[in-house]
Structure 1
Amino acid sequence: MRLDNILFRLGMRSNIPWYTLINGRIVDISSYRCKPQDKKRSKALIQNNIASTPHEEVPKHLTIASVDNKGQINQIIDSKWIRLKINEILVIEYYSRQTRLRKNNKERFRQLWCKVTGIRRELPHVVQI
């Protein structure tokens, strides 16, 4: 679970990542991967933001202590909690197909380049995709 998503779910919407302590360490990467039992603490700057935004329901996998500006991940989110019907296999197949298509397009471009220029060698470094 990404840090920026967790902060959004805890109601710290406009949080700046370097104002976040995770397990006692300052984290400045918004794509930081959090694990269950990680503890986050937001500094005083965020306290005003939390007070000014309306609180939505906190998801089951997170807990928040507004007094201490702390949040905790209780568990990894279960895909059954998400109300979207997503077939993960189809998503994986789609992206693996896109990778194969890119490789095939590169080969077709190389063949066309050789045909047009009459040069039977590899593409120049600048033209390679």
Structure 2
Amino acid sequence: MARYTGPRTKISRRFGVALFGPSKSLERRNFPPGQHGIRAGRKKKSEYAVALGEKQKLRFQYGVLEGQFRKYYEEAARRRGVTGTILLQLLELRLDNVIYRLGFGNTRQAARQLVNHGHILVNGRTVDIASYQTKPGDVVKVGPRPSSQQAALRAIDLTQSVPLVDWITVDREKLEGVVARVPERSDIDPQVNEQLIVELYSR
């Protein structure tokens, strides 16, 4: 399975945003990495560089490679509606992100690992594809194996204080949730300007 395996703190420092979850290193050194990091952060960027940075931030945040991301954009552009919003909705409805939003993984990476290792059931069937597109009405549940239950319970202990999104309902005692509806733009906080990404691909 293709996924980003490089340095994470370095990427977060480059963009000045904790893309992979809370980072104490980012708090201590909130400037770009490298010998000239502090000065680099003050340099004025071109419009293209800003738009490219927004795309990279969104890619890294959801753990999507370049080829996958382009396919998401093409699908969003094909559908009727606001392309940027649809792009965000497609990313939010990925199974690994739904697991993360339910609190069964304290990071998207941990949620993806749960899915890949066969710990997750969708509508009663094991799904081990992190990019699986969920839809309203889907019941997402942690599998019955002790290892599955323990992994999810550990994550719940770490995510109890994290507010839940209201487009998903969750029963943490049963370790299951339901995708109630497609998230609206106001439900999503991707820390990017998605319109710049649309303009970048439209050039």
1:25 Cα deviation after fit: 1.6
Q: 2:131 aligns with which of 31, 52, 56?
A: 31
Q: 3-state SS of the aligned residue for 2:199?
A: helix
Q: Find out whether 1:50 has 2:148 as its counterpart.
A: no
Q: How many aligned residue pairs are there? A: 96
Q: Look up the match of 2:200.
A: 94
CA distance in 1, matches of 2:199, 2:103: 35
Q: Which runs of 5+ in 2 are unaligned?
A: 1-92
Q: Look up the match of 2:103.
A: 11
Q: Is the 8 A contact 2:119 2:142 kept in 1?
A: yes
User: Kindly tell me: are residues 22 and 94 of structure 1, through their superposed partners in 2, closer, same or farther at Cα, counting changes over 3 Å?
Assistant: same
1:85 Cα deviation after fit: 7.1
Q: Is the 8 A contact 1:3 1:34 kept in 2?
A: yes
TM-score under structure 1 length normalisation: 0.64
Q: Find out whether 1:79 has 2:185 as its counterpart.
A: yes
CA distance in 1, matches of 2:127, 2:194: 33
Q: Look up the match of 2:172.
A: 66
Task: Point out the structure with max Rg over C-alpha.
Answer: 1
Q: 3-state SS of the aligned residue for 2:153?
A: helix
1:57 Cα deviation after fit: 1.7
Q: Identical aligned pairs, as a percentage?
A: 29
Two-structure CA RMSD over aligned residues (Å): 2.0
One-letter amino acid of the structure 1 residue matched with residue 174 of structure 2 = D
